[in-house]
Amino acid sequence: MSQTHDAAAFEPPPEAEAFYADSLRLLNESKIPFLLSGTYAVTAYTGIVRPTKDLDVFCKAGDFPKILAYFGQRGYRAEVEDERWIAKVWCDKRFFDVIFAMSNGTAPITDDWFHDNPTIEVYGSEARITPPTELIVSKMFIQDRYRYDGADVAHVILRAHDRIDWAALLRYMEPYWEVLLTHLLNFRFIYPTERDLIPRGLMEELTARLQAQVGLPPARVKVCRGRLFSPRDYVTDITEWGFADVVGKGLEERHEPIA
């Protein structure tokens, strides 16, 4: 599937357009597998156009050093911002992100992301975009005081539900099924007449899990998973209130086992 989107519709700063165009041209010339994600992918699936300040280039962890080296050999400045998930390629004050995992570590970008990829044309180059299933995964945990991508999740479900691999989505979110359920309930609330777009079997599975969980006692170790959503907004829970972070030990509480 190939789609054409006018790059001007994204309204980048005028001085950035040449950088974006050159970057996409070089990425294609490199032959290193990459995907364009973020605003460009959301627009391709939903038709919603909004300004964007940069490019989100997704790749596998093993390929991000190759991209940095390729651009470095051509006079660009490469920077590994965080070895766990993101690097940047700079030209003066302009940059694009090279992302190889979600910032909270929940989803590395793997070969599974490189399937059924629509192609869009932007800034004179063609680029494959993130599939709708993986695009949703990339946005489910972005919810803090300054940014919430739940609307993107809802809009992609609404406009691209027939292209979502729902079984794969559940596999991606297996350890975080409550987050998936929250977004699906959010969708059902926003679009009450479109509830059937979500497979009934998926809702039944998730609500059965919730019902089974209701009868369980709390875990022995107090855990706060809030920092999967926002590293900033849940610091007090870890530093002062005795909760374990996503890794590490917190205070242990004793509960009687189920009879």
Q: HEC profile for the chain?
A: CEEECCHHHHCCCHHHHHHHHHHHHHHHHHCCCCEECCHHHHHHHHCCCCCCCCCEEECCCCCHHHHHHHHHCCCCEEEEEECCCEEEEEECCEEEEEECECCCCCCECCHHHCCCCCEEEECCEEEEECCHHHHHHHHCCCECCCCECHHHHHHHHHHHHHHCCHHHHHHHCHHHHHHHHHHHHHHHHHCHHHHHHCCHHHHHHHHHHHHHHHCCCCCCECECCHHHCCCCCCHHHHHCCCCECCCCCCCECCCCCCC
Position 1 scores a pLDDT of 47
27 and 52 inside one domain: yes
115 and 4 inside one domain: yes
Model pLDDT for residues 43-63, shown as the tens digit of each residue: 999 999 987 777 999 999 999
**Number of separate domains in the chain:** 3
pTM, to two decimals: 0.89
89 and 144 inside one domain: no
Q: Which of 77, 99, 130 is the last residue of a domain?
A: 130
68 and 191 inside one domain: no
CATH label of the domain that carries residue 6: 3.30.460.40
211 and 143 inside one domain: yes
Q: Which of 113, 83, 88 is nearest to 98 (CA)?
A: 88
Share of the chain above pLDDT 70, in %: 89
- The pLDDT confidence band at residue 14, using thresholds 50, 70 and 90, is low
241 and 224 inside one domain: yes
Q: Which two tokens stand for residue 207?
A: 């609500």
Q: Is the pLDDT of residue 143 over 70?
A: yes
Q: Is the pLDDT of residue 257 over 50?
A: no
Domain assignment of residue 164, given as a range: 139-216
Model pLDDT for residues 201-226, shown as the tens digit of each residue: 999 999 999 999 999 998 888 999 99
- The pLDDT confidence band at residue 11, using thresholds 50, 70 and 90, is low
**Which residues lie closer than 8 Å to 128 by C-beta, 6 or more apart?**
34, 35, 36, 114, 117, 118, 119
Mean of pLDDT values over 158-179: 98
29 and 123 inside one domain: yes
Q: Is the pLDDT of residue 144 over 50?
A: yes
Q: Is the pLDDT of residue 15 over 80?
A: no
67 and 153 inside one domain: no
Position 50 scores a pLDDT of 86
Position 12 scores a pLDDT of 63
Position 120 scores a pLDDT of 96
Inter-residue contact 191 to 224 (CB < 8 Å):
no
Tell me the average pLDDT of the chain.
Answer: 91
